[in-house]
Structure 1
């Protein structure tokens, strides 16, 4: 099996994430809290089910509330499957689909596809992390063998459980050195019964006589006990009645002063009385409040000095009062504009300090100038770069020219001397041909002489390879120098154009690379200047409006001269409020007077209703009502107490009524107690006699009677035979199951140990060469030959041993179990060399098994093999 894709709906902090895996080695790289342990638990949960809500830390329910669950696409035996699991009962709702044949499969088939691996085997072998490394050392050899049997034979987990249960059941029946098992107890009881039977045979006759006497006394004891039980019941009943006599007397007393109940004094009547009293009190309180209000209105008729000054100029002040809210708002706006003006001035001054030249800010570029400057800068940059390249090229050519300069001897060309010789030979041949006989020979000789001279002068090359290379270098140097001069002229021209633009816009000595920032600052400065002009204009207008308003107010009301608007505004507001109040004062006085009359009428009505309530009950005061009401409550309480006492007495009430007084009840109790004491004495005597006979019988038959002992012995022997047969069946069945499973998987243990030894040597750089599995633990052999137990290893070395055993387990059983290895940061305690060895071993194992390695080690990015997935992407 290998996993192809993990799709997470919602699991931990993952939601709507997909991870594509390969059949070989997969690296999932992520820092702490990137989700490595979450992915390990996700694979386990989708295959084997979500933990219950009793273990919330292992469920990894989504933090963002998305749908809980996900799906895994995997391949097994050449068939592609897709399993999904979402939140639900019994480990979640599972769906299984055969994507190769497009078939929906029952969810129960998932367990068959994963068999024989269950959740426990997967987490202990195939899901490896640092905390789980080392758990194999706590296991015994038998537990490791059982784990092999679990994988080696399909369905062996059921037979292993059955064998274990049979073995435990057999041990509860018999152990060679045990005391508590059933068969051990039966053997011990058999020896004791045999000894008792031999002792009982000697006193058989005496035993039967004493046994007949004992039976007679037992019959007498039974009859006496029945009589005593009846007398105890009678005594207990009379005692209970005597104890209830005080309650009965109280019940009689409560019934002696019964009087008829009087109507009109119930709890509802008391509530009605309190309502009437509350109405009277509320009416009086309202009357007092309205009287005080009327007095306040009369006192408010006195006018303050400012209002008296207002009355003669009311026609002038009233329009100003209407303008007061607007002036208040204008004054607030004035303060805001002043603060804004200070801020704008500060920002403008900062820009002027940074860019102004002789107190004058540079002028901004137009769009055409901006494009021109950009083009000039680009051309200037390109020209400078070209000049630097040409200068480097010229320097290289000069160095080569200096290296190629020949010495004086080398400058002389031997072929140049030969040109003269060839020319001389040609002249000699030409002159000599003139002396030959015949015109034809003369002509041929003359042509030959000319040809020799031509060859010497024109065909013989006087230059050497070194001289030709020097000529080439000289030409290249001259060409480079010419290009440098042209580039310098271009740079000067471009700089002149930029200087012209700087002069035209007042940029002064500001570097060209700062022109862009300066243009932004110039634009901001111009905007600030416009804002300052607008703010100053608005501020002046607001100041003029407020000043004009204050002048008008002080002209109308001279008492306010010298005060600002913040001081005048509250006084004008109070003046306006007083004016409105005086307009309604006359109506308020009339209303208050009418309300006083209504309040007085309400008080009279409430008092009349209260008097009517008392007169209908022939009462003069409220206190008299509550006196009668309290007496009525006490009468009702006595009736309730008498009913409660009657319920407490129950059936004893009728019996107590039969006694004339307490003395008669006491006499009957004394008689019942005397009869009970006499019967108890007879019973004690009979019990004493039975105890004596029992002692004699116990002495004679300490081991029991013969028949009883023989029967017990026979029954015990039958039980022993049945127990022995049951023990043999369970013991032999358990041994047969163990032998059968051992035959199915016993040959794999040596393979796993040998493979683990090979892996352990690779992980430890051959420092440890062999692993031996003993009866109780593991031990390892060093390269020097000595053996060491696991307890003597360092933590990292011990974890490497556990890793080697688990990897060997998975590789050896790969034919029966095709599960991927999921390793969650299992190498944190390995040093650098052994961690690299572990990476190499995983790459080797991934040729046959899928390996999913989740780690925070960035070194895996440098590994050649494997599919790398970054969790943070």
Structure 2
């Protein structure tokens, strides 16, 4: 994947910034706060989402702009060109992806382009900055080796940190000889609890007897309390009967009296009162009916004297509307004068535009010319393109001369260097003379290498032997501790401790098996013997051979080699310069094509706008603007003529309407339109007043009729109710009705008294059956005192039992407060449970640590060798073959580095600069081997500021050789710029971006 262009809408301090034509090796140069970090964060944000507010990363939201986000144009090896746009929206922003083939998508399509890489992995593998190098400077000892190993696997130090964290978690939970770890402390506390539990077991039997005796006493107390409750209930019922005895007897008497009255016909409720009230309402209704009849007769006579003109009133809506338009008539006169004046102004404006355009335009044809938004945009684009093409032509002429001169200078320098090189035949002869010397040096070098390897393998065998001894001692200590734990669990019958011990022995056996499988003593010994035999052979070869000193020959060959290396470098520069020269030629061809297209478009626009081509070439925008102004003026003129015609029609309509109404309804004619309107309005007012007065009289008459009808209906209803009430009591006269009412009132009084008594008995604790029972028995007054004496006797016995129960509870409490068996047993079980949970947690970290170490071992054997081979090549190149080999540290997870004199160094023994070169080699090798199928851009942020000029030149040269991946290099150091091609440098300034010249 290659990034070809950036368009920043708003991100940090950058806004409306466009960077295009990014090269395969693009350098971004700028001072501090020029926007380098903003551009890097912009690339990460567009590809992987903006940082959320919960994250610690900067969001780079603009302070002075509303837009947030932008887009990136990329070239993908499989899917072609694509534009990725991300703007402010949800937490990580709203993203859209558009491929050149028309495919449109969002996050899913972006993941497909990025091949499911996330931000952390991308930054770990393809992003360099000072953070990784600073970590190396801050570390000591074996931490540097672990950090470099982690950088070679994940790209960051996370692997080393994870291993350290797991080891600390294991040691904080359990150590074979420790006291502070959690498990060690809890095992000691469990042992102490077990001793106390044994002492308390002896007292447990006495405690159980006391508890059993207390339970028996509790049952006897409950039975006595039950008898006391029964006696209390009997006393309460007897007292209640003595209270309600008189009420019960009166209730029985009232029921007998009601029975003697017997059943009677139903009499209306409050019948006498209702009959008297109906008689009082009938008399006023008769008097009211007579009065209303007299008023109705007077109102009908008054209505006959007022009669309005009905035909005139029927025309009232149309006449009122017409009269309301009389003031408008005068306004229309003034409006007509204004329209005529405005019409003259439009005709003068059209005449001025025609003179400026100097074209034959008529008002009918002007609307056929297209002046929409698209046409206006095309006119502006073509006009702007003309100016840009002219400016580009001047710039291309300048670039052509510069690139041509540079190309000629390099060709002259190549010719001079070729003339200084040795002829081929002479060089072959000198190489043959120096071959003997080279053979001797090669043999001596091989002998030196073999001796260093012999020392290295002897060192490994000794170190492995010491490690085996220490490991065997550790395993024996662990086994003794676990056997003790198993023995203790078996003796005390604590199966959890027994299981923990067995599981620990199984884990140790597994570790011992794996360590045995990994032993390579036999192979190392065999290699050591083979190297010693090779050493003897080389020593014999050196003693039997004859050599000669050819220092001068070697000096000539060395000078010729340097010249040829310089010639290769010049050839490389010549190719690069030729590419730049070809780019300028290509730009000339592009300019000619764009110029021809522009002329073609200009001709099309001039035809559509009906203007000559020579005018379009010089004044296309101005001509379009005049035509655009001409059309709305003509449109306004036509609208004005249409409005004048409407005004004339309205005036004629008002005059005709007024005259027609005057002829129909007035006997006299007005001298003017306004006077006629006044007379019509006066007559209309008079007729409306008659109509209103007539309607009010009719309304009053209707109300009187409705009131007479209502009172008549009410009187009829009252009489019906009167006779209905007498008939409801099955009587034929008022006298019979009153006699029956007195008898009904007496029965009502008895029933109300009975209900009152029953209400008093409702809340009694005695039921109706119990009251009947007491009436028959008639209890004696001595019954309650007898029951109270029995209660006193039972309470005395209850007090005795409760005192005995309190004594037993006190003894039980004394045993429990002294650390009873049950409490100790509960604590013991709780402690066992806690230890089991802690052991589970320890086992989780142990398994995780084993998995991590096995993964590292697998990575060492399968993937790491390939990466190390590539890293060796990079390190040898960067150090000029001073350090040419990298070995895996057999005793840890770090690296060993071999110098060209076969001296082995650990990572912490190297200088800071060499350690940084090793780090850069490993990081580049990681991207080029393990992630070689992902051709993402490599982003470097001033990662080599601690290098001297020679090291910096070498690392830049190495980066130029990485052809598969695009390089984006950010720097604020001006002294680095001569190392790059000028066309590959983008200069960043505060608020601006420009290409270096």
Which TM-score band (shorter chain)?
A: 0.3 to 0.5
Q: TM-score, with normalisation over the residues of structure 2?
A: 0.33
Q: TM-score, with normalisation over the residues of structure 1?
A: 0.37
- Structure showing greater Rg: 1
